[in-house]
Structure 1
Amino acid sequence: MIVKMKFVNISGPRNDIDRVTDLYLSRYEIQLESALSELKTVDDLRPFMEMNPYRDALNKAVQFVDYLPDSENITPDDSLTLNDMFEVIRNANQSYTGFQEKRNELKKRMDELKKKQQIIAPFKSMDCELGKILNFKYIAYRFGRIPIEYFDKMNKYLMDNLSAIFVEGERDESYVYGAYFLSPGDTQKIDAVFRSLHFEKIELPDEFRDTPVDEYQKLIREIYNTNQKMDELEKAIGEMFLSQAPRLIAAKNRLEELANNFDVRKMAARMENKKEDYYILCGWMAEDDVEMFLQEVKNDDKIFVVVEDDRDTYFGEPPTKLENPKIFKPFEMFVRMYGLPSHDEIDPTIFVGLTYSFIFGVMFGDVGQGLLLLIGGGLIYHFKKAPLAGIIATAGIFSTIFGFMFGSIFGFEDVIRPLWLRPIDHMTTLPFIGKLNTVFIVSVAFGMGIILVAMLLHIVNAARSKDTENIWFDSNGLAGFVFYLSIVVTIVLFMTGHKTPGGIVMSIMFGIPLLLILFKEPLTRAVQKRAKKMDEGAGMFLVQGFFELFETLLSYFSNTLSFVRIGAFAVSHAAIMEVVLILAGAESGSPNWAVVILGNLFVCGFEGLIVGIQVLRLEYYEMFSRFYKGGGRAFEPYTKKTKKTKKK
């Protein structure tokens, strides 16, 4: 059901806006609209240009509370004043800043150690003391790397003729790491040769004194010790925040409330003249909330409230807030997926809840599997509040009911007796058609009834929006309803062996509605006394109208036959479970229970998913498309409703 909304204007002295927001509006659901945009006819309006004084402190409080483990279970210290809260945040920030400086120093040290580790790692296999090599006076050296292909060429063609020695270190996929040693007098010549071989020089830090492997091990130990210090620092930060946890959470909660209240100014307007300076707020509230709000502020002489009656003329479409019984609440998800209803539309949630669950139950009728869906979906919905789980649980109720109707429990059809029939076996004989599965026939009949109900809902929605064409002449309006109802009645009379209506009745019931649908545009103009002429000629109008009428008739036929899938899935479910039981060897009297259990779980999950999608398709394409537009906008209050008691 759609909650009835009212548009309210709230005004008072400018310096009183925080009190009013905190004392009253924060405890009601109100969707604020921009006062500057909505109140265009009011002169001397200007925006608020104030910075939010709570936002920076709130950002810090949120950051600090995130450090607390299991913060939702910590009881806040509600005894703090606003000054206390700012003091708590300030002190925590000072301590945190000190920790941050130490953390940055450790992080810088960690980066330096890892960089040195990357430099020395490729030379670990070289057995030499770096302190001696780095202090050589009569031997020059170059540490670096050379591409593997050039290293092989060097060894094969050049090394015998070079007055240099290359000591190899580690290798990777692309390079050979190492160092070459040479006489200082040959540096220019030898360096030129190695440059031609794409040798890349790597500078080793002067602090390396021991062997490369020893230096590498030292760095590993230093990295480990630095990590330990960082962990201890993080622990100290957590303990510092934990000692202030109740105060920090209280500060965060209250500052969040105050910051949101202050941000109301973004939607407010100021009206200032020489004598007075007022704020103006406007927005949508539920009718019940408006009555409670007016009752609460009636003795407050600093707040003035006006409830607008002519809202459609000046303030546009109200937002949509859905409020349905708990059992149907999860089905609002399907409605929102298609689009929220506008304020003058019927909320289809209950209709969807009933039809979806009923059709799902017919297509997936099994006592055992229905109970599994009910229990599993119910538990998930209870703990996780997932709407889809609630839908599954409700559908499971109807699956269980139709399981008794069909006499099926976990695929076994010889355990309980069907209250109605067995879908896979029961047949019905129809005139001129012969034998058909009874469930198929009932499914089509049910579909005809659902289509008629959808047409009635279309007429109601059209009447609410005062849409003449859709009330009387649309293919889903009264003309289409009479035509389709006539077809249904004719088919029922024919199939039950009664004489069909006479020619005159047939022409009236079939012909006249089709003519009304064909000429709906000129008839609508005539009813509304509009003299607008057709854009195209009469011939083109008739040709276009003929094909549109043909498409309408085709859609009646295809939409009706689409409901055959209900019976088809009811039969296929029974057939699939027969296959599962055959695979389990149930015919021998001693089935393999592991196969039975796994088969039931597979069918329950896989076929349940397919049936759920097919039922949703029926909802959207065969029902929603006939009566529902879903052009509404969601009701989005700036804050959630809390207790209706005055704050101290």
Structure 2
Amino acid sequence: MAVIETKILNLVFPKENLMEVLDILDHSEFYHPIPSSQLAHELKDVHTLTPTRDYEDLQREVVDSAKRLHLDLNAELSPDISVDLEATKKYLNDINAQIDEIDKIKENILHDLNENKEVIEFLNKCTTKNINVEDLMNANYLTVRFGSLDNSQMDNLKYYLERPFVYDFLKKGAKETWLYYIATNKDIGEIDNIFGALNFKKIEMPKIVHGTNTDALNALNEQKNAMDEYIIHMDGKLDLIKDKETLKLQKLYATALHLDKLEQEKEYVLDLLTKYSLSGFITTNHIPAFKQLFKNINDMNFTELPTDAITDQKLEVPTETNNAGVLKDFEALSHPEAGKRDVTLGYAILYNAVFALCFGDFGLALVLLALALKKNNKMLLSLAIASFVGAFLYGQVFYYWSFTPTIIPIHVVVRLFAGLVVLVVGKFVLDACKR
């Protein structure tokens, strides 16, 4: 078993193929690009690329438009690797303009509905009296005000009865009284001040009101029903826009997400003035297949370099081994490193031997087996088997009960001490072999 050789693979390609190259790298799990900031200081006349916020802004605009259409976005569609930002923003602006028009109409209707709601409530209180609202509102020399006063203010009204106005009660409720008052156009300002001081709640009658209070109520109810239907009609127009644009907005969202991700990967790109360059770590066994990914890009150049070609000590060289099965899990203990000998097999033998020697116990072996099955961990399963082997040699359960005849009678303290010595010496030898 060995560590597979790792190299630095440098890519040089035409600038117009940047997003295509980044898209290929995004789908490759074997190539580990190096940040350009860690390479630029070692080269002359090169510059790093700075990611922009163009696609992040586009993503936000798509999300905002979708929210206005009550559309839930997802990234399930396959993204494009390019998008015309100017044309896309015009497309989104056109959608928002249509939504703005619908929202403006609905806003005006809702405003009128809220105003009419107060008038309808007022007229419903006036059904006990037959008054001609239209005649009162259209009087040439008189002005009429409709509204209500708190019952606590009604007694105060008597102090102003000598002033030039008349009023009429329409209905008295538990907390307020509905009424209207009339004054000449000349005196209405003074009378409004009096009623304003009494906290008169004025109701504005819309122009649609005609005839008696009953006629006005019927007209307002008809208008309310028509407005409700028109709001439903406007919501239907919004749904039509949603149905028409859903697929394109979903596609745009997936594309904006993907392109924004690729945009951030520009941190790995060096600008060589006429071309772009990328460098990254890759194991030698993947290099031929990796190069084939770029077969459709003309003027693509590859250069293989040893990992020590870059002097930056902060770079961590990724490591890949040809270990398989249970040995792959033991790499968590052996920590294989690029350029060094792989001692994973030695660690597997060492730890299995220590567990058989120190932890050869039926009870402990069962616990390890349960953990291995629960976590689906092959290393724990191997150690559980080693513990079972030791258990048959020592015949103990939780170091107390004897389950089978002891084949090798060794005191548990001696076993633990011996196992510790074997572990320390074994690790020292194996780490020395790595170098």
Structure 2 length as normaliser, TM-score?
A: 0.55
Contact 1:271–1:278 (Cα < 8 Å) also in 2: yes
> Is 1:133 aligned to residue 136 of structure 2?
yes
Partner residue of 1:597?
A: none
Distance, in Å, in 1 between the alignment partners of 2:314 and 2:133 is 85
CA drift of 1:123 comes to 0.9
Supply the RMSD in Å over aligned alpha carbons. 6.3
Distance, in Å, in 2 between the alignment partners of 1:343 and 1:134 is 95
Deviation string 1:274-324 (CA, Å, 9 cap, x unpaired) is xx544233456687654411355589653224466469954237599xxx9
CA drift of 1:217 comes to 1.0
Contact 1:14–1:270 (Cα < 8 Å) also in 2: no
Contact 2:396–2:403 (Cα < 8 Å) also in 1: no
Deviation string 1:398-423 (CA, Å, 9 cap, x unpaired) is xxxxxxxxxxxxxxxxxxxxxxxxxx
CA drift of 1:203 comes to 3.9
Distance, in Å, in 2 between the alignment partners of 1:193 and 1:112 is 29
Gaps of 5+ in 2: 326-331, 337-360, 430-435
SS at match of 2:42: coil
Cα distance 1:5–1:254, how it changes in 2: closer, same or farther (>3 A)?
A: farther
Contact 1:6–1:307 (Cα < 8 Å) also in 2: no
Partner residue of 1:302?
A: 300
Cα distance 1:31–1:313, how it changes in 2: closer, same or farther (>3 A)?
A: same
Mapping for residues 351-500 of structure 1, pairs under 5 Å: 446-447=366-367, 489=396, 494-496=401-403, 498=405
1:227 aligned residue (231, 235, 254): 231
Contact 1:7–1:285 (Cα < 8 Å) also in 2: yes
CA drift of 1:213 comes to 1.8
Contact 1:35–1:269 (Cα < 8 Å) also in 2: yes
Mapping for residues 153-192 of structure 1, pairs under 5 Å: 153-155=152-154, 157-158=155-156, 163=161, 165=167, 167-168=169-170, 176=176, 178-181=178-181, 183=183
Q: Report the identity percentage.
A: 13
Contact 2:209–2:220 (Cα < 8 Å) also in 1: no
SS at match of 1:143: strand
SS at match of 1:116: helix
Cα distance 1:194–1:342, how it changes in 2: closer, same or farther (>3 A)?
A: farther
Deviation string 1:330-357 (CA, Å, 9 cap, x unpaired) is xxxxxxxxxxx79949xxxxxxxxxxxx
SS at match of 2:270: strand
Partner residue of 1:110?
A: 109
CA drift of 1:106 comes to 2.1
CA drift of 1:69 comes to 10
Letter in 1 for 2:291: L
Distance, in Å, in 1 between the alignment partners of 2:414 and 2:101 is 91
Partner residue of 1:47?
A: 48
Q: How many residues align?
A: 367
SS at match of 1:179: strand
Partner residue of 1:199?
A: 200
Gaps of 5+ in 1: 326-340, 346-440, 462-479, 529-648
Contact 2:36–2:269 (Cα < 8 Å) also in 1: yes
CA drift of 1:214 comes to 2.9
SS at match of 2:277: strand
Partner residue of 1:214?
A: 218
CA drift of 1:51 comes to 5.4
Distance, in Å, in 1 between the alignment partners of 2:30 and 2:147 is 70
Distance, in Å, in 1 between the alignment partners of 2:178 and 2:116 is 16
CA drift of 1:233 comes to 2.9
CA drift of 1:130 comes to 3.4
CA drift of 1:99 comes to 3.5
Distance, in Å, in 2 between the alignment partners of 1:262 and 1:445 is 49
Distance, in Å, in 2 between the alignment partners of 1:132 and 1:452 is 92
Deviation string 1:441-473 (CA, Å, 9 cap, x unpaired) is 987761266689999959x99xxxxxxxxxxxx
Query: Which structure is larger by alpha-carbon Rg, 1 or 2?
Result: 2
Letter in 2 for 1:267: E
Mapping for residues 324-363 of structure 1, pairs under 5 Å: 344=335
Partner residue of 1:372?
A: none
Contact 2:5–2:283 (Cα < 8 Å) also in 1: yes
Distance, in Å, in 1 between the alignment partners of 2:182 and 2:249 is 69
Distance, in Å, in 1 between the alignment partners of 2:371 and 2:252 is 54
Partner residue of 1:267?
A: 267
Deviation string 1:470-506 (CA, Å, 9 cap, x unpaired) is xxxxxxxxxx9xx99999847578433757987x845
Q: Which has the higher contact order (CA 8 A, sep 6+)?
A: 2
Cα distance 1:65–1:13, how it changes in 2: closer, same or farther (>3 A)?
A: same
Letter in 2 for 1:15: K
Cα distance 1:270–1:168, how it changes in 2: closer, same or farther (>3 A)?
A: farther
Structure 1 length as normaliser, TM-score?
A: 0.41
Cα distance 1:49–1:19, how it changes in 2: closer, same or farther (>3 A)?
A: closer
Letter in 2 for 1:114: L
Partner residue of 2:328?
A: none
Q: In terms of mean alpha carbon deviation, does 37-46 or 121-130 score higher? A: 37-46
Contact 2:133–2:210 (Cα < 8 Å) also in 1: yes
1:509 aligned residue (390, 415, 424): 415
Contact 1:452–1:485 (Cα < 8 Å) also in 2: no
Deviation string 1:97-135 (CA, Å, 9 cap, x unpaired) is 664464244234323323323442331322444333333
Contact 2:137–2:143 (Cα < 8 Å) also in 1: no
Distance, in Å, in 2 between the alignment partners of 1:192 and 1:135 is 22
Contact 2:307–2:317 (Cα < 8 Å) also in 1: no
